[in-house]
Structure 1
Amino acid sequence: MTGHVSGPAAGRFGNRRSIRLKGYDYTQPGAYFVTICTQDRQCLFGEVVEGGMLLNDAGNIVETEWRSLPQRFPGIQTDAFVVMPNHIHGVILVGARFIAPMRVNPGTINRNEGTINRNEGTINRNEGAINRNEGAINRNEGAINRAPTLGDIVRAFKAVTSRRIRQQGSTAFAWQRNYYEHIIRNEQTLVRVREYIANNPRQWALDSENPAVGSRWMAPGSGER
């Protein structure tokens, strides 16, 4: 089943699919625009103040754990990312070859387009790293003894953040069971995704994830395993 996008994201990146695109290999090199929401769209990560996101303790945990994903999963990179009051948007690069490093000035993208190519062998060179460190990395999430899929990465992120947020006092915290993703197929789309993520706090009053705006879609029945 698919989660339909309306509101600001509609028409820009297409409909984001829930969990997995049937037949698509999520371990292959690629870039993915991911959205993960809190259960019932509860606003638990802070608030938007004058067009910027002011994170609380839970929001800081989410931001910290997202930025640490490349340490948990050698061979992946994180790109543009934002924590919103009740959801996150982020880009995950899994050995992607066409993606240029993110810069404040989009005009620098082409000048740096070779960076990822120089490191395109990262996954293969480090394919044993997950196994060597699985005891330290995945004590509570289960061992990853193969190339991680996008689903593996999201599940680990949700498990670690949920545990830490509950430990700091929000014992009922939970993420929405599903997540939504869009496969980024070229640099033009990546640039638009980065702009959308950067502008998200300023668009909060119109954001379809904002409970004050209204429901965007019902969560699909098929859930994350």
Structure 2
Amino acid sequence: MRYRKNIRLKDYDYRTDGYYFVTICCSSRAKLCLKYKNIIEKHLTLLERNKGVKLDYYNLTANHLHLILVLEEAKLPLYRYIQDFKSKTTLEIKKTGFNGKRFWQPNYYEHVIRNEYALFKIRKYIQENPLKEKIELEKIYGKDIVEKNIVAAERSSANSKANALQLHHCGKFRCFVFLAILAKLTLCSYIHAAFEEREVSARTLGLSGVSAGLADDIDSVFYNPAGLINLGGLKFNASDANLYDILNYRSFCFGMQMPRADKLGTFGLAYEEFGFKDQYKETKFYFSHGFPVLKNLSLGYSIKSYGLKILYDENEKKYTEKVLTSFDIAGLLSPSEKLSFGLAFYNINSPKIIEDENVPMTYKIGAGYKLSEHFNFGFDFEKENIWHAGIEIKPNNILVFRSGANFNPLKFSFGIGLNFWKISFDYSVSYHPQLEFQKIATFSFAHKFGPPGKKPEKEKKISIPVEEEIQPAEVEEEEKPQEKQIEKKPEEKPELKVPLEIPPKKTPETPVEIQPLKQEPAKPVIPEKKEIEVPA
């Protein structure tokens, strides 16, 4: 993100002698480093003119720069040298015709290298990084320069063992892996700040992050709490990821629909943990609530508690800790049963981590379309022009297949799910050109109490027309026998047909419609007919 800033250790003096691993990225992740390679390398060499500053190793890729700086009795802290380098390179690059507002991102990533093994692995990672970007080292530097850098790195590694840093070699302390993984993770967004929004569940990872529009499951707690109204009943979800056997990433969430869901909505609780053992740890607690506002519109909010814990002194086990509170708001619009639109704003209060560093406010807007019960499609858009697209195919009630892609940066993902009664298992794999494979496996257990919130409304709509169709049918059945009785009454008097041939004028006195109302006056007609027969 544009305004993300790196984490600084609260009580650490960045003038301290030591080795520092630094990553600087181009603004908007533009691939401009190779275009201005000569200018950047020129100012890298000028860094060593500062007293107490040495350049141990560096590598320039398409859109970011890795370097290791050594400070020995330096007059200024590390960030002053980085600011000086960024400002001077930007000024010279603009003289060549560069019209952008800024060349580098305002932030940079740094880490204190604490032991020899970590230093060796970071050098190896920096050396192999262009290969993972599918850019050959020879195309950037040439074969001769690459060989010289490798030899220089080996010599520096040997010399640093006798350096005044006096770092402790600890087998359990595998900080180098954490640094390499964290550096790789930065390549997804090209600079990862604290408390990033990540693909927590296997379903979301399989869809490459599509979550705002397709908010119809328990993982809506993390991405769009307004979608909790589609949960129905009670559900529990647990996720666990182990990256490279070092970096752990876990989450738990729980959602429950209230008895009067049409008014009270659905509540959710969640916990998220990310970090490297005791060295670095992020925690998040969620309290989410989704409730309906209109027939096709629902809103939601989340109250989040952040916890950050960083080890800055391994020997004395000293940590720097920070606790923050943040808020999310979201909405979900469903014009029809097949189409839905979602919008979510994260960290709207932008809480402060330390001085000059806040958790950035972000947003995500998306749409979901359910072509049928067996096919779902969705796409999301994030700030900084990041697109997500994913599809979900359900050939039957047991199997689920997922696939998706991210654009800017390009990343692909695949997933599969198995559903047995009320238990589901999901597994997803995400592939990135620099990140290799990232795996997240999710176990889900769901148990529902009562029908979902939307189903009773549909049953009422179906029952009303059934009653309306039955009522007119019953009325017709009651009226038909009455008509038959009325028609049969005049037919039961066939004996009067012969005398009625002489007085044809009295025929209008016997209409069918009047006879059922005037049955008693019909009796005096008979004696009048007898008087006519006597003169005959």
Please say if 1:160 is aligned against 2:88: yes
Please say if 1:150 is aligned against 2:65: no
User: Following the alignment from structure 1 to structure 2, what is the Cα–Cα distance between the partners of residues 25 and 197?
Assistant: 25
Q: Which structure's residues are more often strand, by fraction?
A: 2
Q: CA RMSD of the aligned region, Å? A: 2.7
Please say if 1:93 is aligned against 2:70: yes
Q: Cα distance, 1:92 vs. partner?
A: 0.4
Q: Which structure's residues are more often helix, by fraction?
A: 1
Alignment length, in residue pairs?
Answer: 146
Counterpart of 1:69, as a letter, is: L
Please say if 1:66 is aligned against 2:33: no
Q: Can you give the 5+ residue segments of structure 2 that lack an aligned partner in the other structure?
A: 136-183, 195-349, 351-355, 359-536
TM superposition outliers: structure 1 runs of 4+ over 6 Å: none
Q: Cα distance, 1:45 vs. partner?
A: 1.7
SS in 2 for 1:81: strand
Q: TM-score if structure 2 supplies the norm length? A: 0.25
CA contact (8 A) 1:35 1:181 kept: yes
Match of 1:49 in 2: none
Name which of 179, 185, 189 aligns with 1:215. Answer: 189
Name which of 13, 16, 25 aligns with 1:25. Answer: 13
Match of 1:174 in 2: 103
CA contact (8 A) 1:81 1:88 kept: yes
Match of 1:45 in 2: 33
CA contact (8 A) 2:29 2:190 kept: no
Match of 1:50 in 2: none
CA contact (8 A) 1:69 1:157 kept: yes
Q: Deviations over 1:149-186 (max 9, x none)?
A: 11001000000000011111113142101100110011
User: Following the alignment from structure 2 to structure 1, what is the Cα–Cα distance between the partners of residues 192 and 69?
Assistant: 25
Q: Cα distance, 1:188 vs. partner?
A: 1.0
User: Following the alignment from structure 2 to structure 1, what is the Cα–Cα distance between the partners of residues 81 and 47?
Assistant: 8
Q: Cα distance, 1:215 vs. partner?
A: 2.8
CA contact (8 A) 1:19 1:151 kept: no
Match of 2:56 in 1: 79
Q: Cα distance, 1:82 vs. partner?
A: 0.8
Q: Deviations over 1:120-147 (max 9, x none)?
A: xxx3xxx7xxxxxxxxxxxxxxxxxxx1
CA contact (8 A) 2:25 2:190 kept: no
Match of 1:189 in 2: 118
Q: Which one has a bigger Cα radius of gyration?
A: 2
Change (3 A) 1:30 1:218: closer
User: Following the alignment from structure 1 to structure 2, what is the Cα–Cα distance between the partners of residues 179 and 217?
Assistant: 8
Q: Deviations over 1:162-218 (max 9, x none)?
A: 0011111113142101100110011111101110111111011496666xxx43666
Q: Deviations over 1:48-106 (max 9, x none)?
A: xxxxxxxx3x12111111121011x11110111011111100000001xxxxxxxxxxx
Q: Cα distance, 1:20 vs. partner?
A: 2.0
Match of 1:201 in 2: 130
Q: TM-score if structure 1 supplies the norm length? A: 0.58
Change (3 A) 1:216 1:87: closer
Q: Cα distance, 1:28 vs. partner?
A: 1.1
SS in 2 for 1:60: helix
